[in-house]
Structures are given as structure tokens and as C-alpha cells.
Amino acid sequence: MKKALLLCASHNDLGLIRALRKLGYFIICTGNREDAPGQKFCDAYIKADYSDKERILAIAKDYQIDAIVQCCNDFGVYTAAYVAEQLGLPGYDDYETTLILHNKDRFKAFALAHGIVTPASRGFTSEEAALEYVRDAMFPLIVKPVDASAGNGTSRVKDITSAARAIRTAFSVSRGGRIVIEPFITGTQHGFCTFLREKRVVAVCSNNEYSLLNPYRVELDTFPAANYEEVHDFLIAEIEKMARLLNLKDGIFHLQYIYDGKQPQILEVMRRILGNMYHVPGNLLTGMDWEYWETRARCGLSLENFPRTVQEGYFAYKTLLGKQNGVIRHIVIPERYRKYLIRRYDLLQPGDRIARYRSEPVGFLFFAFDTEERMQQMLVEEYQDDLVRMEPGDE
């Protein structure tokens, strides 16, 4: 039996585990959490930090794996690309290309050098240099660590005082000690998930992104994107241009963009499945099992008979988040949701404690709607932020 090393078994990685099981692999998973939801579906578990590429390489050698499958985290992508390159395994961009795409400062430099439309950002490795830059910059600005997710360490700043605080915060979050500063772009935010095959886009899943409780953590996605027809051709051309320039391998290529009604601005890109169990509604929208085909690509298997896809219907997910730290008292599902609710996934239960409420999901609700207008009205216009009721705790 062929052996695959999966770098994590979180709730976001369950689709990868399902795909590996379907493909007949002996599944070895790693991770720091011994209670990760997907571990019970794997054949072996090794406690190891997937960001430790040398440790993961040693495990891969010990088990003589046939394939490595990255997880839903940029550090997992780095490690998978590194191990694949060291062992000659299929399915991954080279390690240097992976670093370019998954580090915000390196991606922005690449994009600007090749005329790819993105906000003009500057990268910094010291607080002093960043502070010197913002003294003469035009506000408002966005300050971000280059290597964080879920909006961690990201701030919008409107003056030099708030910029100084934001710079310190971003550096404290960045593992690599690097940040980017860029102009704040006014517009709506969206996702554009594609699948590359021979450097051509062969499938698209689009969505609207809403960060309503925490302004820099996407909490709610509705599918498809409201401006899909306006941006479709432009974004596909940009993605295929990047695929040619970087000689990208087959598989998922996702980007986030801001749209001001005229031209989309690409914020960042990634080559992995998405968080918040994104592909539950994404699979329904397109009629395609994205995790299955992504797993085939990363294992170096044939993509023959790749499905034709269309975006059809209206789907959404809503992340359940607390509004403060403490113990969960109750999780409320409004009666008006029940007609459209098709699936619920709980990560925490009443009685569990939340320690990082701004970034720690309690669970997810998944919806199917009959019209775009109904979806927009129920989830955005009549947005509710009080579904997770808390007993107050330490902030």
C-alpha cells in the first residue's frame, strides 16, 4: 500500500483525509494537537510541528512515503514543497517559488515587478525603518505581518500614533520578523479560487468575503462573487500569467482581491485548500470535489477526466465566533436560519472555554439559498453577532 504523509488533521483537512482514503493510501498525519478531529481517520499519528521542515523530512524518510500532502496552513505548504524537493516527490512548486507566493512581501515584490495589479506595498525587517517610512506616507494604511493568517497582527492605521502601535503588533506576530505596509484600498473583498492544469485555469469558485466581527478575519463567505462576471477574464489572465512566469504545477491557486467597481486589486495568493471549511459550499457551488482533485495533484496522480464545472446556486458559510473570552454558555441557531441551513460543524461546545475570541472559531454553519437577494438579506443585511453566548472571562 502506498503511504502519504499529511501534515495536519484539523477540521479544515478532513476533505484531504477523505480523498486520501478514497485513493487507497496509508495515511500518516502529524501535528501538535493530539486531539485533532481528523486523526481518528488516519492510520498513524506522529506528534510533530509541521512547520519544522527538517523534522518532517526525517519522518518522510523513515516512513519511505510515496506522497506528501500539505495542510490548510501556509507553513504546511512551505514544508511540503521543501520535503518534495528534497526527496524528488511529485506535485509541488519548487521551494523558492513557494516562498515567493506565500510571503506577502515577496509576493508583492514579484507582482509589482511583473505588472500584476496589486496595492503598492513596502516590506520591512525593522520597526525603525517602518516608522521612518510611515512618517511621510499617505494615510490610511494597512500594516500586516508577512506570514500570519486569519487577520492576526493586521491593523488599519490613520495616523502616526496608531501606525507605531500597529507596527509593533505586526512584528510581534510575524515568525520571520517581517511586515508589509500598503495603502488602504476602498472596495469590497472577495475570493477567487481556481484550479490550474498545465498552467491554464480549468475551474473557478468565487465568493464575497465579510469580516464583520473581527475586521481582518474573514467570518462569512457568500457564493458566488457578486462581481464574478466583471472580474472573471481579468483575474484568469493574471493567474495564468503568474503560472507561466513561475512554472506552476497543477492544483489549487487561490487569490483574494479588493474590487472598487473598476479593477480588482490582488491582495494575496495561496496554493492550498482554504480555511473555514471553505470547500463545503465551494463544492456545492461548482459540483466539483476540490479536495479530491487537489489531493490527486499533490500526490502526482493523473488529472485525466477532470470535471467540467459551472457556478450554480447560492451558498454560504458563517463562522461561529464569540465576542469575548470566557466559557461558552449557549450556542443559538435562529429559527429563520433553519429553512436554509444544510450542515453544521461544531468545534467547541457549551462549557468549553475560549481564550482567543478574535481568531478562535466555535464552529461553522453552511447554507443553501434560493436567491442571491435572500442570502444577502439574511446573512449580511440582518447580520447577527450574538449566536455564541458567553460567561465573561479574562480578556
Q: How far, in Å, CA of 118 to CA of 152, rounded? A: 21
List, edge to edge, every strand of the sheet that includes 353-354: 353-354, 326-331, 388-392
3-89 and 120-183 agree in CATH topology = no
Max intra-chain CA distance, the chain:
61
The class level of CATH for 186-304 reads alpha beta
Query: Of the CATH numbers 3.90.25.10, 3.40.50.2020, 3.30.70.260, 3.40.50.20, which one belongs to the domain with range 3-89?
Result: 3.40.50.20
pLDDT of residue 395: 46
Closest CA to 51 of 67, 18, 74: 74
Architecture of domain 313-395: Alpha-Beta Complex (3.90)
In sequence order, the 6+-apart residues with CB closer than 8 A to the CB of 101 are 93, 107, 246, 269, 270, 271
pLDDT of residue 370: 97
Query: Of the CATH numbers 3.30.1330.200, 3.40.50.700, 3.30.1540.20, 3.30.1490.20, which one belongs to the domain with range 120-183?
Result: 3.30.1490.20
pLDDT of residue 217: 85
**Domain extent listing, the chain:** 3-89, 120-183, 186-304, 313-395
Q: How far, in Å, CA of 99 to CA of 75, rounded? A: 10
pTM score of the predicted model: 0.93
Beta strand spans in 171-320 (E):
179-183, 188-197, 200-210, 220-223, 251-259, 264-270, 314-320
Q: How far, in Å, CA of 345 to CA of 296, rounded? A: 26
CB atoms within 10 A of CB 140: 15
In sequence order, the 6+-apart residues with CB closer than 8 A to the CB of 97 are 81, 246, 247, 248
What SS3 class is residue 49? coil
Residue 268 identity (one-letter amino acid): E
315 burial via Cβ count (<10 Å: 0-12, 13-18, 19+) = buried
Beta strand spans in 26-153 (E):
26-31, 44-47, 67-69, 122-124, 141-145
pLDDT of residue 316: 98
pLDDT of residue 392: 66
Task: Compute CA distances 244 → 119, 163, 239, 247, whole Å.
Answer: 22, 37, 9, 5
Where on the phi/psi map is residue 37: left (φ > 0), alpha (ψ -120 to 50), or beta? alpha
User: What is the chain's pLDDT, residue by residue, as a tens digit (395 residues)?
Assistant: 999 999 999 999 999 999 999 999 999 999 999 899 999 999 999 999 999 999 999 999 999 999 999 999 999 999 999 999 999 999 999 999 999 999 989 999 999 999 999 998 888 999 999 999 988 888 999 999 988 776 788 889 898 888 889 999 999 989 889 999 998 889 999 999 999 999 999 999 999 999 988 787 899 999 999 999 999 999 999 999 999 999 999 999 999 999 999 999 999 999 999 999 999 999 999 999 999 999 999 999 999 999 999 999 999 999 999 989 999 999 999 999 999 999 999 999 999 999 988 889 999 999 999 999 999 999 999 999 999 999 865 44
pLDDT of residue 148: 75
What is the distance, to the nearest Å, from the Cα of residue 132 to the centroid of all Cα atoms in its chain? Answer: 32
